[in-house]
Amino acid sequence: MLAATRLFTRQIRLRVRIRERSGWTREKAAAFARQLDAPDRRALQEALNANSLAYQRTSESDVTPSTRQLVKWGTICGIPFVGFGLIDNCIMITAGEYIDMTIGARLGISTMAAAALGNMVSDVSGLGLAGFIETFSSKIADRTPKLSSQQVQMRKSRIAAFLGRIIGVCLGCTLGMFPLLLMPSKENADTD
């Protein structure tokens, strides 16, 4: 999925670079292609292939993604965000609690300050774990729906992707609250 998202981002970036140029000739197009690195050249080729397939379609029903494709696209887009939400919340809660109980107690900082520091630790950890999450997500979501670049750019597809990401991060954050089940409650800590 992330590979598809990266490909789509590269395609958009290439499209902007192409539009910036005017008066295309065969020589200018060849010079432009030689300036691209291998991944950008591949993305351009795939974008051109996808666009040529899209132009070959004649009816609007062939172009509009089906509901099944949109659900699959939303699911594929949401899977990495389940991982990000889970890791982020889990680390934030654990680090925030640890900071509150140790540094917070010694220095007298508030619980909210400890939570903010826990969030900082979580964000930094998220940067380091992003590659792992992306790799794991791509193994789970290896079957992306066959959508053309035109279909991916459609409003329906963008809404499906956005909703998939929202649901993914909400589910991940909910799952990431599991450390709260393992921590002793304040009442139990006070009686000990």
Q: Which runs of consecutive H residues, i.e. helices, occur in 57-154?
A: 60-63, 67-101, 103-107, 111-140, 149-153
Instruction: Please give the pLDDT value at position 183.
Output: 82
Comparing 20 with 168, the larger pLDDT belongs to 168
Which pLDDT does position 95 carry in this prediction? 92
At 13, which helix (H) or strand (E)? helix 2-20
Spell out the residues 6+ positions from residue 8 whose beta carbon is closer than 8 angstroms to its own: 149, 152
Instruction: Name the residue with higher pLDDT: 15 or 78.
Output: 78
Report yes or no: 166 and 77 within 8 Å, Cβ to Cβ.
Answer: no
pLDDT tens-digit readout, 33-55: 788 888 888 877 887 777 665 55
- Intra-chain end-to-end CA distance of the chain, in Å: 49
Asked if 65 and 73 touch (Cβ cutoff 8 Å), the reply is yes
- Interatomic CA distance for residues 161 and 155, integer angstroms: 10
pLDDT tens figures, 134-173: 888 877 766 777 788 788 889 999 999 999 999 999 999 9
Give the predicted TM-score (pTM) of the model: 0.61
Helix (H, G, I), strand (E, B) or coil at 144: coil
Q: What is the mean pLDDT of the chain?
A: 80
**pLDDT band at residue 19 under the 50/70/90 scheme:** low
Q: CA 65 to CA 78: how far, in whole Å?
A: 18
Tokens (6 digits) for 32? 């432009």
* CA–CA dist 111, 131 (Å, integer): 31
More confident: 74 or 149: 74
